[in-house]
Amino acid sequence: MNDYIELTKPRVTWLILMSTAVGFWFGAPGSIAWMVLLHAVIGTALIAGGTFTLNQWYEREADSRMNRTRQRPLPTGRILPWQALLFGILLSVVGFAQLYWGANPLTAWLGLFTEASYLGLYTPLKQRSWHSTTVGAIPGAMPPLIGFAAAANTLTWEAWALYAILFIWQFPHFYAIAWMYRDDYAKAGIRMLPVVEPDGASTARQILIASIVLVPVSLAPAYLNMAGMVYTAGAVVLGAMFFYSGWRVARERTALRARSVLLTSVIYLPVLYGLLLAGL
């Protein structure tokens, strides 16, 4: 059972569910429909787990060549490929049904689009082009839309503002990971940007640009009256911290600086969400 749970990447899923819940909060027309929220969270968790499971099924050979992934259930043989395939399909089907009947059809189709674009576009593109990071950011930013749609049964500018924040946030986050594990990715034939251009100049530039763009994007909720001056000030401070970590990795292209960007990104999003939910 632990091996099957590991296939669903629970440490990543919590971030997805947090973003889904934030989207639901802002999509709720008045009072929170707690049962709908429960269905939305469970359904999203199931689809996310199914997506991660099927992704590992597809990449099992590449995972066996990387130090950071070779101990996963599939490369070690603790779970057989056909078992992972069936498990991933089952989670996906049940998750879609949960969203369709527990929330609404729009939410379910958004969940299906997320999984289809992740597995059908992002996953195979990783071994062909470093632009896979950009493609992967599209499904990666879907959780707030799924949550918003579950509550409102529509998508508004407020929903897209949340989507934009998460979309831009992913670039420094994942480019930092790509830099830290570039040797592993190279061994697996995954063409991340630091693998294609090993000097790291382009990677650092992408991190810095994204950290700059994130500042005005993070202020969109204030423009839409989703939050007040406290959020605005907090978003600027957090953005400045993010920019500083990006600036340092641009000056010193080392794994230590990349890890600093990763840690900053992990702190940034929950704190920003907290300020947003406070509504101040």
pLDDT of residue 207: 95
Q: How many CB atoms lie within 10 A of CB 74?
A: 24
Q: Is the pLDDT of residue 279 over 80?
A: no
Tens digit of pLDDT for each residue in 77-131?
A: 999 999 999 999 999 999 999 999 999 999 999 999 999 999 999 999 999 999 9
Q: Is the pLDDT of residue 199 over 90?
A: no
255 confidence band (pLDDT: 50, 70, 90)? confident
Q: Is the pLDDT of residue 280 over 80?
A: no
Instruction: Report the alpha-carbon distance of residue 58 to residue 63 in Å, rounded.
Output: 10
Q: Cβ contacts of residue 78 below 8 Å, gap of 6+?
A: 3
Q: What is the pTM of this model?
A: 0.94
Pick from 267, 43, 25: nearest CA to 162: 25
Residues 37 and 25: beta-carbon distance below 8 Å: no
pLDDT of residue 224: 94
30 confidence band (pLDDT: 50, 70, 90)? confident
Residues 130 and 195: beta-carbon distance below 8 Å: yes
Please provide the distance, in angstroms rounded to a whole number, between the alpha carbons at the two ends of the chain.
Answer: 43
How far is C-alpha 70 from the chain's CA centre?
22
How much is the average pLDDT of 251-267?
A: 92
266 confidence band (pLDDT: 50, 70, 90)? very high
Tens digit of pLDDT for each residue in 203-216?
A: 999 999 999 999 99
Tens digit of pLDDT for each residue in 50-65?
A: 999 999 999 999 999 9
Q: Is the pLDDT of residue 31 over 90?
A: no
Mutual angle of helices 157-180 and 229-251, in 10-degree steps: 20
Largest CA distance in the chain: 53
Helix (H) or strand (E) holding 239: helix 229-251
Instruction: Report the alpha-carbon distance of residue 95 to residue 87 in Å, rounded.
Output: 12
DSSP for 195-224 reads HHSTT-HHHHHHHHHHHHHHHHHHTHHHHT
Tens digit of pLDDT for each residue in 1-25?
A: 999 999 999 989 999 999 999 999 9
